[in-house]
Amino acid sequence: MCGIIGVAGSAGGTREVLLDGLANLEYRGYDSAGIAVDGGASRERNAAARGGIDVAKKEGELSALRRALVGETIDGSVGIGHTRWSTHGPPSDRNAHPHTDGAGRVAVVHNGIIENHESLRTELEAKGVAFSSDTDSEVVPHLIAEALARGADPEAAFREAVSRLDGSYALAAIVEGAGAIFAARHDSPLVLGIGDGANYLASDVPAFLEHTRDVVYLEDGEFAVLTADAWRVEDASGEPVEKEVQTVEWSAEQTGKSGYDHFMLKEIHEQPKALRGCLRGRVDELDGCVAVEGLDGLEAPAEVQFVACGTSYHAALYGAYLLGDAGVATAAYLASEYATSQPPLSPDTLVVGITQSGETADTLSALRKARGRGAETLALTNVVGSTAARECDHVMHLRAGPEIGVAATKTFSSQLVGLNLLIEELLPDASRGDVRELVSALRDLPAQVQEVLDDSRAADVVDEYFGAKSFFFVGRGVHYPVALEGALKFKEITYEHAEGFAAGELKHGPLALVTAETPVFAVVTGDGENARKTIGNVKEVEARDAPVVVVTDGVSDAAMYADSVLEIPAVHERTAPVLANVQLQLVAYHMAARLGRAIDKPRNLAKSVTVE
């Protein structure tokens, strides 16, 4: 969601570091952007910044902020920036971050939601404080200013303000003349970048990756102070916290488009590489076994509960199907529902949180509640050092590399492959069936994905059905989650109406919506019972004049009943969903491109959803 960038020590270049950092965070989704710099280069330019802090912020895209800064001389040695995704108050210049106190001596950026902001606002207004925005965040600079007025030093004033907040926050503040950034986190991610002659902070690593790959992840309740040549982390009581400096494997080049028109298209084409990364060192075809590092002590659970949101929830449904088919009691829950319904837990329940970023607020909340009730927890995530990775009892990293596009692509494919590996670790040997066959199929999968990418007719299919009113996606068994994901990708980036269904449910209501202007995408592989029944569903919609597109391996006669065909190789039943999904990703992408949509930054959406 919202993005934070801060830099201490970039004398003479702070402004550009902040703007570039915000550009690197655009993928998170936003509706306004702003920066604040303590330098005094043009103090009289901005009436709202009557002190030494210069502030510039604009509704809309980052380009609007850049235009507003043309000819301005804002710069200095310490600064913070922010991209806002609206929660309290509509998108506008006045609601954009950073927010300041009345005198312009304090500037603050904030991710999260301050739940007690109304009572704090009422208290401050009673003391004569005038607010200039509708946001919950603005109470923070006023609380800091109030403490400064009582004689507190900047760090103490920041700590005092934070102590009064309820809710979730990643906060960064600068105070006129302090030469430092003060930061704190609770239920919202914040990471430090340790540089040479400058130190950084951000809500996500790509913000400063071109400057340093050495990072320190803050935990809930920790405070950080950054200056040009030093950094320190303390707990809520002020005691020093020893932090490990980690080196991120990603490079700045990996987060670029590499010549592709969009990050999404690049990441779709990176899937062979991503899957190789997920599999590397974890499968042994000679011995026909799977071994995932870090999971050695994980015993076979009596029950598994998956918690996830959005695309990750579709992966959870896939995992639940595989485990259920192996005789393990399994359920997949939307994390937002799990956190409030609290399904029964047995002493041997394993709760698996699937989250691309490792920072998804609903999933973290579900995992924390499960752990608080005595469950063992495991995170399946792509981000090393993320909150989920640090807090769970076990973690399995996807190793898919950075994903910038808001619509998840390579991470979903990696989640499906990762779940296959995880399940082989969880199940006792007697339940595994022919692991050697699966290991061989997983080894071949990256090359098969490349084959689909090279030969796909998705762009031609889009040409055939451009202008249709609605789009349905159907599948059975392991292809039901793929149908849901295909519809989600389509609606996310095309803004057209799309729905995914279990194929057998068409006749229980959705057929009422089927017309000649409703293309139906059906996933059919193999020639087993699921394939035969799905072909029956294809005939049902065909009888109602709906055009049919089948994604098929050609093993069955599904193509005979289709108006268009998207082919995939005939493969193992557990890897076929990955290939079918690639075809549907390409359909969504090409339709969105035809429609001229903002593919990497779809409206109203964010890459990392860090509020519940």
Q: Are 34 and 81 in contact (CB under 8 A)?
A: yes
CA distance 295 to 292: 6
DSSP letters, 356-401, are SSS--HHHHHHHHHHHHTT-EEEEEES-TT-HHHHHSSEEEE----
Enumerate the active-site residues: 2, 607
Three-class SS state of 416: helix
Place of tokens 């229980």: 508
**Alpha helical stretches, state H, 138-252:** 139-149, 154-163
In 3D, which of 278, 303, 358, 301 has the Cα closest to residue 575?
Answer: 278
b/e 92-120 (16+ beta carbons within 10 angstroms → b)? bebbbbbbbbbbbbbbbbbbbbbeebeeb
In 3D, which of 157, 181, 160, 156 has the Cα closest to residue 171?
Answer: 181
State the first-to-last Cα distance of the chain, in angstroms, to the nearest integer: 11
DSSP state of 130: P
CA distance 448 to 271: 11
Orientation angle between helical segments 479-494 and 576-595, nearest 10 degrees:
20
Pick left, alpha or beta for residue 252 (phi over 0 → left; psi -120 to 50 → alpha; otherwise beta). alpha
Letter for the amino acid at 252? A
- 521 burial (CB, 10 Å; 0-12 / 13-18 / 19+) is buried
CA distance 38 to 222: 24
CA distance 146 to 187: 25
In 3D, which of 3, 11, 110 has the Cα closest to residue 65?
Answer: 3
